[in-house]
């Protein structure tokens, strides 16, 4: 259900992984490379992951989501390597009998990916490149987890 891939992500394939006859809703989140960041023109991003730990993190995020939304199915696919402007770096699909839980799960999942998944992006912009460093990854930090839940349920 979860994957790290060096090849372009296929949104329809991720949706198909979670689709069930019992589900009336599939919500998707597609994260793409934006052409600007902090007033710089972004040329492309390059992603790197600690793959086995990243997959375990995705499984953990799925288990966390089920604690709150027991009926959801979740798939998280993340790119590594070069991702050009406009191309997907992450695809999340959440399926549920009803739409509210599907939307909430997809939002929760992307927030948690950004908090704890061992994945890094290097931004190549006009005139240079640098690693982006975001959240300090502490999977057991309940404050971060509650913040992700609050965003999902906002």
Binding site for another protein (CB under 8 A): 31, 47-50, 52-54, 56, 78, 89-90, 110, 113-122, 131-140
Smaller CB separation from another protein, 4 or 23: 4
Is the CB of residue 115 less than 8 Å from the CB of residue 137? yes
What is the largest distance, in Å, between two alpha-carbon atoms of the chain? 51
Residue entry with tokens 């798939």: 75
> In the complex, what is the shortest distance from the CB of residue 120 to another protein, in angstroms, rounded to a whole number?
4
> In the complex, what is the shortest distance from the CB of residue 83 to another protein, in angstroms, rounded to a whole number?
11
Rounded to the nearest 10 degrees, the angle between the axes of helix 99-116 and helix 142-153 is 150
Smaller CB separation from another protein, 121 or 145: 121
> In the complex, what is the shortest distance from the CB of residue 18 to another protein, in angstroms, rounded to a whole number?
19
Q: Which two tokens stand for residue 29?
A: 């989140």
What DSSP designation does 3 have? E
Residue 20 DSSP SS3: coil
Smaller CB separation from another protein, 4 or 18: 4
Smaller CB separation from another protein, 20 or 34: 34
> In the complex, what is the shortest distance from the CB of residue 8 to another protein, in angstroms, rounded to a whole number?
17
Closest CA to 108 of 52, 68, 78: 68
């Amino acid at each position: 259900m979860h994957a790290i891939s060096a090849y372009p992500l296929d949104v329809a394939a991720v949706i198909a992984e979670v689709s069930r006859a019992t589900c009336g809703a599939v919500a998707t989140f597609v994260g793409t490379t934006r052409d600007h960041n902090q007033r710089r023109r972004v040329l492309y991003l390059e992603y790197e992951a600690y793959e086995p730990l990243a997959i375990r993190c995705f499984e953990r995020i799925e288990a966390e989501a089920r604690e709150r939304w027991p009926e959801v199915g979740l798939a998280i696919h993340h790119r590594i390597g070069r991702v050009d402007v406009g191309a997907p770096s992450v695809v999340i699909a959440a399926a549920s009998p009803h739409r509210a839980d599907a939307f909430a799960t997809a939002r929760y999942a992307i927030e948690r990916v950004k908090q704890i998944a061992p994945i890094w992006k290097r931004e190549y912009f006009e005139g240079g490149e640098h690693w982006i460093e975001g959240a300090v990854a502490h999977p057991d930090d309940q404050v971060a987890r509650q913040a992700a839940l609050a965003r999902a349920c906002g």
